[in-house]
Amino acid sequence: QMSDYWQATVTTPVNIAVIKYWGKRSVSLNLPTNSSLSVTLHQDQLCTTTTAQCSASFEKDRLWLNGKEEEIKPGGRTDTCISEMKRLRKQYEEQYEDSHAVSTWHVHLASFNNFPTAAGLASSASGYAALVHSLATVYRLPYTSTELSLIARQGSGSACRSLFGGFVAWDTGVNEDGSDSKARQVASEDHWDDINAVICIVSDEKKGTSSTTGMQRTVETSPLIQERIRLVPGRMEEMERAISAQDFDAFAQLTMKDSNNFHAVCLDTSPPIFYMNDVSRAIVALVHEFNRVSIGQKRGHRAAYTFDAGPNAVIYCLRRNVKDIVNMIMHYFPQAEPFKDTYKVFYAKDTPGM
Ligand code: PMV
């Protein structure tokens, strides 16, 4: 007799924070010391596609990343997300007296990024979000994105924000069990659809200090993180206002300030953590120079850089300014190779000619 076999495939985009998550108040539950806010990129830019299968004939849970099998460590973050999803499925079977005991089956997960994993771009956000979303789909669970965000968060904090499109906040919450530390959509992609992200791959090497290690060291050693924790609630409010008013000038200023504050906190950590390099700093200078011109013409900021736990830059801008920014990058980084999407993503591996 053939055993039952269920399958679903989902695609989940990467998100890039404009108010950064940095610091955990609980390492085991991935509970943050501050709220954060991000923009979910377009699916054709950077995303993860994950197929989940479950079958009574599978002997264990298995995971493949870009075709290569990865070990699922018992009690690790992937294992936690899978068990949480099985638990939700079991509740559902009990509640609806569903005769398919799918919650007892093992799962196979195959996940592909549409960008090189080696490019040093954070793939954990889209990766864990796709994992949770694919299981919710294969299990036919009627859960909302906010409910699923509670589980994706336990895989990787930033993953909870990738379950929504558009502009997404992750509220710290106050409960010790993390039950209110979840994502919420601030505005849909349609609300402000002419925001673009120009991604500059500055280095394709794997980052030196993982976000988990970095956050722990910051919380333990940086006095400046306390100031950041005081600062962020006000910035969250200002950022939500800027987004609802489609005020790019305010959005850009807050985005750059928050990225710089996050990297200052990393520098204040002992031993210090340097995520940005000389090329990153050259991009910072270029963007400020680009803005100086438009501010002089009373047009306000036209571009905003932001850097995560690595040297790659994401430059947010309105669609009408993409061409000027791409031309500027190509001018100062003539060796940049267009990759994937010719006007959005560039390699700028070497020191700039400036
Ligand atoms: O989700 P994690 O644990 O990889 O942490 C992400 C941290 C930053 O990317 C630096 C900031 C953020 O909010 O995404």
DSSP of 233-290, one letter per residue?
HHHHHHHHHHHHTT-HHHHHHHHHHHHHHHHHHHHTSSS------HHHHHHHHHHHHH
- Tell me, yes or no, whether 298 and 215 share the same domain: yes
Reference 124, options 309, 316, 349; nearest CA is: 309
Give the three-class secondary structure for 47.
strand
Summarize the confidence of residues 93-109 as an average pLDDT.
Answer: 90
Q: Please state the φ and ψ torsions of residue 183, each to the nearest 5 degrees.
A: -95, 150
- Tell me, yes or no, whether 228 and 332 share the same domain: yes
Q: Are 266 and 274 in contact (CB under 8 A)?
A: yes
Index of the ligand 1 atom closest to the CA of residue 124: 4
Check residues 326 and 98 and name the one with the higher pLDDT.
Answer: 326
Structurally, how many domains does the chain consist of?
2
263-278 pLDDT, tens digit each: 999 999 999 999 998 8
Give dist(CA 97, CA 246) in Å, integer.
47
In a domain, 293, yes or no: yes
Split at pLDDT 50, 70, 90, the class of 1 is very low
Q: Is the CB of 211 under 6 A from ligand 1?
A: yes
DSSP secondary structure code for residue 103 in this structure: G
pLDDT at residue number 45: 82
169-186 pLDDT, tens digit each: 999 999 999 999 999 999
- Tell me, yes or no, whether 227 and 286 share the same domain: yes
Split at pLDDT 50, 70, 90, the class of 251 is very high
**Boundary of a domain, candidates 168, 187, 206:** 187
**Boundary of a domain, candidates 155, 170, 187:** 187
What CATH number is given to the structural domain containing 320?
Answer: 3.30.70.890
Write the ipTM: 0.98
Q: Ligand 1 centroid to 225 CA: how many Å?
A: 15
Taking 70 as the threshold, does the pLDDT of residue 339 lie above it? no
Summarize the confidence of residues 259-266 as an average pLDDT.
Answer: 98
Give the three-class secondary structure for 319.
helix
In a domain, 241, yes or no: yes
In a domain, 50, yes or no: yes
11-38 pLDDT, tens digit each: 999 999 999 999 999 999 999 999 999 9
Q: Ligand 1 centroid to 254 CA: how many Å?
A: 18
- Tell me, yes or no, whether 173 and 314 share the same domain: no
In a domain, 352, yes or no: no
Q: Is the CB of 158 under 6 A from ligand 1?
A: yes
Give dist(CA 346, CA 340) in Å, integer.
9
200-238 pLDDT, tens digit each: 888 777 668 899 999 999 999 999 999 999 999 999 999
Summarize the confidence of residues 339-353 as an average pLDDT.
Answer: 44
Q: Ligand 1 centroid to 101 CA: how many Å?
A: 36
Reference 333, options 311, 348, 316; nearest CA is: 348
Give dist(CA 64, CA 51) in Å, integer.
10
- Tell me, yes or no, whether 98 and 240 share the same domain: no
In a domain, 54, yes or no: yes
**Boundary of a domain, candidates 128, 154, 187:** 187
- Tell me, yes or no, whether 162 and 265 share the same domain: no
Domain range for residue 23? Answer: 5-187
Q: Is the CB of 17 under 6 A from ligand 1?
A: yes
Q: Is the CB of 36 under 6 A from ligand 1?
A: yes
Split at pLDDT 50, 70, 90, the class of 99 is confident
- Tell me, yes or no, whether 159 and 28 share the same domain: yes
Inter-CA distances, 230 with 17, 265, 315, Å: 18, 13, 26
Q: Is the CB of 122 under 6 A from ligand 1?
A: yes
- Tell me, yes or no, whether 71 and 161 share the same domain: yes
- Tell me, yes or no, whether 110 and 14 share the same domain: yes
Q: Is the CB of 21 under 6 A from ligand 1?
A: yes
- Tell me, yes or no, whether 171 and 204 share the same domain: no
Which tokens hold the place of 74? 């018992």
In a domain, 297, yes or no: yes
Q: Is the CB of 124 under 6 A from ligand 1?
A: yes
What CATH number is given to the structural domain containing 90?
Answer: 3.30.230.10
pLDDT at residue number 42: 87
